[in-house]
Amino acid sequence: MSVIFMNYRSRDLVAPLWRSLAGGPLNTVLTLASVLMLALILPPLIHWAITDAVFSGTQEECRAASGACWAFLRAKARFILFAFYPGEHLWRPILVIVTLLGLMLASALPRLWGPALILAWPVTLALVWALMAGGTWTGGILARVSLNDWGGLPVTLLVWSTCMAFAFPAAVLLALARASDMGGLRLIAVTYIEVMRAIPMVAILYFAMLILPLALPQGVILDKLIRSTIMVALFWTAYLAEVVRGGLQTVGPGQAEAAQSLGLGYWRIMQLVVLPQALRQVIPGLVNLGIGFLLATSLLAVIGAFDLLNTARASTTDTQWLGFYDEAYAFAALIYFLLCYGGSRYSRWLETRLRRR
């Protein structure tokens, strides 16, 4: 029984696989080239990552070996993931990571899309910021942890999710303003979007770092992490607004006119008729931008904030574990890859699901 089953399955699988690997001269050449590449890359990679690697031990043992120093990651994973956050309170950033990933996962499921989810975002974000900060934010129950000590993965996720939570609704409003027939409003929206899109994100971060403090009243000091979060949120708004506008353009004017003839007001028309159709059209584009933004948070390093990539870099400067760049960056790359690959698989799944409707 199982043999028959296997035969049936394998014939079903192998034939198309064989066709795509060796069907036609071009495919054959590409397959051979790929195999050759793998043969060149894989053995040294396996030697480096596994057979010659040091999995536990000291810096000296690592230097003596020719392979990767995974012992370095054992010692440094705590710093790369959580930076300076005090050891006895590590459960807080861990809980923040779990909560934020949970929130993202929940937002990924179309059947949960609704008012509850929209409310869940600001509430959850307020809670995780308070959990990270402690002190008066939690009524003094948790010890205060200075923003200065935050870093690593929770900061990457916090900045990303906070900026997205602000930028997305703001972008919808901005896109509506740009598509509206009120000239003044449209001009403001167009100016804002075009100016923001003409500035590189690094310049925005330097603005947050250098110029913004001068605009604040004397004595008021906002932490650079908060300043850059504000500026990045404003920056992303412009990009998201353009994607949303693209969606708005796919909804024909007849839709709004029909709704108007039913006696609906502007906001009801947008909420019930136009936006649901428009946003559905651009979900893949929004997810794509979201993934790009997650990677862009690594630019926070230029202002000295300790996002995940910067903690990985800083972990290589410890005199106890000097200069294990490959291992540190491989670790950071793996985390970014898991997050982004998850996002892109989700985007593809969502696209087919929405097309089926």
Partner 1 sequence: MSNERLFGRTLRGLAAAAALAATALPATAGGTLDAIKERGVIKVGVGTTPGFFSPDSEGKWQGFFIDYGRALSIAVFNEDGKVEFTNSSPQQRLPALQAGEFDILLSGVTVTINRAFNLGFHFGPTVFYDGQGILARKELGVTSAAELDGAVIGVQSGTTGELNIADFFRKSGHEFTPVTIEDTSEFIAALESGRVDAITQDSSDLVGKLQQLKTPDDYVLLPERLSKEPLAPAIKAGDDQWLEIVNWTVYATIQAEEWGITSANVDEFLKSEDPAIQRFLGVDPSLAEAIGFRPDWAYKIIRTVGNYGEIYERHLTPLGWKRGYNDIWTNGGLLYSPPFR
Q: Where does this chain bind partner 1 (CB under 8 A)? A: 63, 75-76, 78-79, 82-87, 146, 148-149, 206, 209-211, 213-214, 218, 221, 224, 302-304, 306, 310, 313-323, 325
Run of H or E residues at 262? none
Q: What's the min distance (Å) between Cβ of 337 and partner 1?
A: 21
Q: What's the min distance (Å) between Cβ of 128 and partner 1?
A: 20
Q: How far apart are CA 126 and CA 213, in angstroms?
A: 24
Which residue, 26 or 214, is less far from partner 1 as judged by CB? Answer: 214
Contact 340, 294 (CB under 8 A): yes
Q: What's the min distance (Å) between Cβ of 223 and partner 1?
A: 9
Which residue, 49 or 256, is less far from partner 1 as judged by CB? Answer: 49
Q: Side chain identity at 58, as an amino acid letter?
A: T
Q: What's the min distance (Å) between Cβ of 38 and partner 1?
A: 24
How far is residue 248 CA from its own chain's centroid? 25
Q: How far apart are CA 123 and CA 115, in angstroms?
A: 13
Which residue, 281 or 318, is less far from partner 1 as judged by CB? Answer: 318
Q: What's the min distance (Å) between Cβ of 93 and partner 1?
A: 11
Residues contacting residue 80 through CB under 8 Å, at least 6 positions apart: 73, 152, 308, 311, 312, 315, 328, 331, 332
**22, burial (CB in 10 Å: exposed 0-12, middle 13-18, buried 19+):** middle
Name the residue with tokens 């809980």: 95
C-alpha dist (Å) from residue 201 to 106, 169, 257, 299: 29, 20, 39, 8
Instruction: Tell me the CB-side half-sphere exposure of residue 136, using CA atoms within 13 A.
Output: 0
Residues contacting residue 293 through CB under 8 Å, at least 6 positions apart: 160, 163, 164, 236
Contact 115, 271 (CB under 8 A): no
Q: What's the min distance (Å) between Cβ of 122 and partner 1?
A: 29
Which residue, 91 or 267, is less far from partner 1 as judged by CB? Answer: 91
Q: What's the min distance (Å) between Cβ of 49 and partner 1?
A: 18
Q: What's the min distance (Å) between Cβ of 321 and partner 1?
A: 7
Q: What's the min distance (Å) between Cβ of 212 and partner 1?
A: 9
Q: What is the residue-wise DSSP string for 317-352?
A: T-GGGTT-HHHHHHHHHHHHHHHHHHHHHHHHHHHH
Which residue, 26 or 221, is less far from partner 1 as judged by CB? Answer: 221
> Alpha helices, DSSP H only, in the chain?
2-22, 25-46, 59-64, 70-82, 91-108, 115-133, 153-179, 183-198, 201-206, 212-215, 224-250, 253-261, 266-269, 275-296, 308-315, 325-356
Which residue, 280 or 313, is less far from partner 1 as judged by CB? Answer: 313
Which residue, 85 or 121, is less far from partner 1 as judged by CB? Answer: 85
Which residue, 44 or 252, is less far from partner 1 as judged by CB? Answer: 44
Which residue, 83 or 238, is less far from partner 1 as judged by CB? Answer: 83
